[in-house]
Amino acid sequence: MQNLKDKKLKIEYNSYNLVWESETIPLGNGILGLSINSHSKKDIITLNEESLWQGGPSDNRNYTFGNDTTKQGNDYLAYLNFQKTNQYFLANNKEKATKYSEKLIGKKDFFGAYQVLGEIEIDYLEEHQELAIKRSLDIINGLYQIERKYQNNQITKKIFVSNPNNFALLKLCSINKTNLSLSFNFKQFRNSIKYDNNNLVVKGIISDNNLNWITCIYFKTDGLINYSNNKIMIANANDVSLYLVILTNYKNLYPTYRENTNLEEKAQEIINNIKDKTYDELYKIHSTDFSSLMKRIELNIFSKNNDTLEQSFKKYQNKKYNPKLESLLFQYGRYLLISSTRENSKLPLNLQGIWNNTNTPLWSSDYHLNINLEMSYWLSLKGNLFETIKPLINFVFDLTKPGRETARIYTGINKGFLINTQANPFGWSAPGWDFRWGWAPESSAFILSNLYDYYKYSNNYLFLKNDLYPLIKDLVSLYSDLVIPYNNFFVLSPSYSPEHGDITMGNTYQNLLLYNLFSIYLNNFNLENDKSNYLETLKIKDRLLYLEVGKNGQLKEWFNEDYLNKKDLKHRHISHLVGLYPLDLIKKSNYKIRKAIFISLKKRGLQSTGWGLIHRLLCYARLNKSKICYKLINNIIKNNTYLNLWSFHPPFQIDGNLGYSTAILELLVQDYDNEVIELLPALPKKWRSGNVSGVALLNNKTIDIKWHRHKVIEILLNIKTNQNITINTNKFKSLKFTITNSNNNLVNYKIEKGVLFIFNIEGILKINIK
């Protein structure tokens, strides 16, 4: 198979990028984020650090993690309202039940918002007009390069953000020796700024919560350097490098979320460690790290198109669809994931990854758990980047502590943990400040599905046994106490189908998330010492499974839905379809429910927000509807993607990008149905020939697939733990094939009803099809 090693994947532009939202170029190391805009003779670099947030605890205020802790007598009022809601529901008094559920809200104070650290403005003090600009982002190595041409000079700037050394390097050089003159202007709200011996130190405090931050920049130049009026001026230089470090004293640890540390010492230590190294040495460390992750998956879709990105993007709007752009967007999603979340990030990526240019971003640029955060992290698994999910895992484990309080305060039960629609970096686990979007006690189960999937992909048994299983058990125990009988089912109540409503007892989305959690618990019951509650839990589990077809043939979103609700037919959320994706509950043989889901999907249409289209795309991929999938891809690129390839809602939301990349993999290979590998399950007609490699499958293995004229001609599996393999042969070019193992020996197999079985195998397995 082709090798990416020798190839570059570059996104190139020949124009300025003045608008942040749609044109900025993001770089990051999972902690520190830079976004760069170029104007004539000027670059503006927006600085972000993942933990720079307002809100949360502070010395002089009573931060309750959003919980409404008002008491009535000895009880929390929230709990009393919860009880009343359900008493009225059970007495069939919906009006009163609604009235009391509306009181189940959190307190808005101190939720906070993701902040911008500031901007660096770099002015190119050239006397002549700028003749041209060329910008290129090398997404394999995480390197951005800007070239500016003048009458008798050319200035090149290179930027990367290194994860191993946790700093950003900006290097500028001109071809005319000693001709470079620049000024650096620091636009930051700060408490102090000092310059000494090529070292600039800027310190600040977020006034709202006393979070401390520091920016240290070390300048290395062969020219003259001068500091005045908060500006650095460089003259007569050939070469200038900035080594930029940003730190905060945030720590993801309940309840204070602070670390006691000397930020300046820490920052200086980082700088001392790198300042004598050359650009080439530092770039090598960075690019080795970054590209080793990017190169894990390669995707080539054969296309004769040689347009630049700007050309293809324009033509795409005019329906000139182009697989090269479609596959570039796939790799760009992986680039964004690696840049915004890494094993050493303190926090998961937020709604905008780590990039933000306003102190009042929409939805605070927070962590939304009714699909957005989950969607963003699906790519970590199938996308073969397991280390990127670590910050999410740490975040969820910390959230269980305030989440237990939320469970106690709102439901009276001191078990498990409840988180709701949104969270911040400071343990905000309460419902939102309006029941109609904010109440979502099933979010705990939803986010644990990401963590359990990590186990299913990685086979990390110790993680399951020691960390995850106890959490699942505790949560199942809470939900077991909370569910109430309703018709023939068990439900949580009150419930609200995400942002769509209505206030009901249970709904499909919530029931399926709980059913999935209970199933995981029981499937791993061998980890249990005390097996006495098995049967009781099994009984609850069976009565959680709610999948019913309505009178329009649709999958019902609510228990009391007969006909499709006319009002919100095009709603962006398709929460009731979670059973199909991301949960693996609706298998291929479940024709009835798959048909109902298809009807529901068709009614919701092919226009929505960025992530809304992605969830549709993932579901259609599982239904093997390749034609509709391709229409959705076209709509996503035409209507919900900016020129910098950011996906938008609007505004920019990273879930659309990361979900897109996951969906592309879902079109190429699936194994959710009892681990039977299905090749090219929803391959668009236009993707006639190509190859993909390194896609992670369940049970610790990866797959490479090569196809020609829509038929598979070569498969390579890298199986890391001994197992049986089953592959559906319906997309094989022919049934004439050879199977070899790591030692190039022929491997035994059997074929039954179009499925290929290989038993007890480990290592490399290669299938060559004639």
Q: Which of 409, 398, 399 is nearest to 429 (CA)?
A: 399
Q: Is 66 exposed, middle or buried (0-12, 13-18, 19+ CB in 10 A)?
A: buried
Instruction: Choose, by CB under 6 A, the member of 141, 372, 600, 644 that binds ligand FUC.
Output: 372
* DSSP code, position 556: P
Instruction: Between 291 and 510, name the residue whose CB sits nearer to ligand FUC.
Output: 510
d(CA 103, CA 281): 59
Instruction: Between 556 and 573, name the residue whose CB sits nearer to ligand FUC.
Output: 573
Q: What is the largest CA-CA distance in the chain?
A: 85
Instruction: Between 33 and 361, name the residue whose CB sits nearer to ligand FUC.
Output: 361
Torsion angles phi and psi, residue 697, rounded to 5: -115, 170
Instruction: Between 188 and 444, name the residue whose CB sits nearer to ligand FUC.
Output: 444
Answer yes or no whether residue 165 interacts with ligand FUC by CB under 6 A. no
Instruction: Between 51 and 497, name the residue whose CB sits nearer to ligand FUC.
Output: 497
Give the per-residue contact string, 290-309, with ligand FUC (x = CB under 6 A; - = no).
--------------------
Instruction: Between 303 and 653, name the residue whose CB sits nearer to ligand FUC.
Output: 653
Q: Quick one: angle between helices 610-622 and 626-639, nearest 10?
A: 170
Q: Which of 655, 497, 514, 647 is nearest to 571 (CA)?
A: 497
Contacts to ligand FUC from residues 642-701, by CB under 6 A: 649, 653
Piece of 290-298, 363-371, 731-739, 755-763 that binds ligand FUC (CB under 6 A) = 363-371
Buried b (16+ CB within 10 A) or exposed e, 69-105: eeeeeeebebbbbbebbbebbeeeeeeebbebbbebb
Q: For the CB of residue 573, give the shortest distance to ligand FUC in the complex, in Å.
A: 6
Q: For the CB of residue 499, give the shortest distance to ligand FUC in the complex, in Å.
A: 4
Q: For the CB of residue 613, give the shortest distance to ligand FUC in the complex, in Å.
A: 12
Instruction: Between 648 and 707, name the residue whose CB sits nearer to ligand FUC.
Output: 648
Instruction: Choose, by CB under 6 A, the member of 135, 171, 296, 368 that binds ligand FUC.
Output: 368
Give the per-residue contact string, 550-589, with ligand FUC (x = CB under 6 A; - = no).
----------------------xx----------------
Binding-residue total with ligand FUC (CB under 6 A): 11
Those residues whose C-beta lies under 8 Å from the C-beta of residue 127, and which sit 6 or more positions away, are: none
Instruction: Between 126 and 374, name the residue whose CB sits nearer to ligand FUC.
Output: 374
Q: For the CB of residue 447, give the shortest distance to ligand FUC in the complex, in Å.
A: 14
Answer yes or no whether residue 608 interacts with ligand FUC by CB under 6 A. no
Instruction: Between 375 and 399, name the residue whose CB sits nearer to ligand FUC.
Output: 375
Instruction: Between 268 and 640, name the residue whose CB sits nearer to ligand FUC.
Output: 640
Answer yes or no whether residue 351 interacts with ligand FUC by CB under 6 A. yes
d(CA 206, CA 116): 11
Q: For the CB of residue 206, give the shortest distance to ligand FUC in the complex, in Å.
A: 23
Q: What is the 3-state secondary structure (H, E, C) of 476-534?
A: HHHHHHHCEEECCEEECCCEECCCCCCEECCCHHHHHHHHHHHHHHHHCHHHCCCCCCH
Q: For the CB of residue 657, give the shortest distance to ligand FUC in the complex, in Å.
A: 13
Instruction: Between 313 and 363, name the residue whose CB sits nearer to ligand FUC.
Output: 363
Q: Determine contact, residues 235/256, Cβ cutoff 8 Å.
A: no
Piece of 364-372, 400-408, 694-702, 732-740 that binds ligand FUC (CB under 6 A) = 364-372
Instruction: Between 403 and 432, name the residue whose CB sits nearer to ligand FUC.
Output: 432
Please calculate the CA angle 38-42-48 and round it to the nearest 5 degrees. 60
Q: Is 117 exposed, middle or buried (0-12, 13-18, 19+ CB in 10 A)?
A: buried
Piece of 276-284, 365-373, 458-466, 524-532 that binds ligand FUC (CB under 6 A) = 365-373
Answer yes or no whether residue 512 interacts with ligand FUC by CB under 6 A. no
Q: For the CB of residue 422, give the shortest distance to ligand FUC in the complex, in Å.
A: 8
> Which phi-psi region, left, alpha or beta, contains residue 279 (left: φ > 0; alpha: ψ -120 to 50)?
alpha
Q: For the CB of residue 522, give the shortest distance to ligand FUC in the complex, in Å.
A: 31
Instruction: Choose, by CB under 6 A, the member of 499, 502, 548, 762 that binds ligand FUC.
Output: 499
**Hey, what are 594's tokens?**
């798959």
Piece of 133-141, 285-293, 362-370, 460-468 that binds ligand FUC (CB under 6 A) = 362-370
Length of the chain: 770
Instruction: Between 424 and 609, name the residue whose CB sits nearer to ligand FUC.
Output: 609
* DSSP code, position 235: E
Q: What's CA 554's distance to the chain center, in Å?
A: 30
Instruction: Choose, by CB under 6 A, the member of 111, 167, 184, 363 that binds ligand FUC.
Output: 363
Q: Which of 348, 341, 462, 353 is nearest to 396 (CA)?
A: 348
Instruction: Between 170 and 399, name the residue whose CB sits nearer to ligand FUC.
Output: 399
Q: Determine contact, residues 183/198, Cβ cutoff 8 Å.
A: no
Instruction: List beta partners, residue 184.
Output: 122, 232
Contacts to ligand FUC from residues 28-67, by CB under 6 A: none
Q: Which helix (H) or strand (E) element contains residue 705?
A: strand 701-708
Q: For the CB of residue 580, give the shortest distance to ligand FUC in the complex, in Å.
A: 19
Q: For the CB of residue 629, give the shortest distance to ligand FUC in the complex, in Å.
A: 22
Answer yes or no whether residue 609 interacts with ligand FUC by CB under 6 A. yes
Number of neighbours of residue 664 by Cβ within 10 angstroms: 28
Q: Determine contact, residues 48/113, Cβ cutoff 8 Å.
A: no
List contacts with ligand FUC (CB under 6 A).
351, 363, 368, 370, 372, 499, 572-573, 609, 649, 653
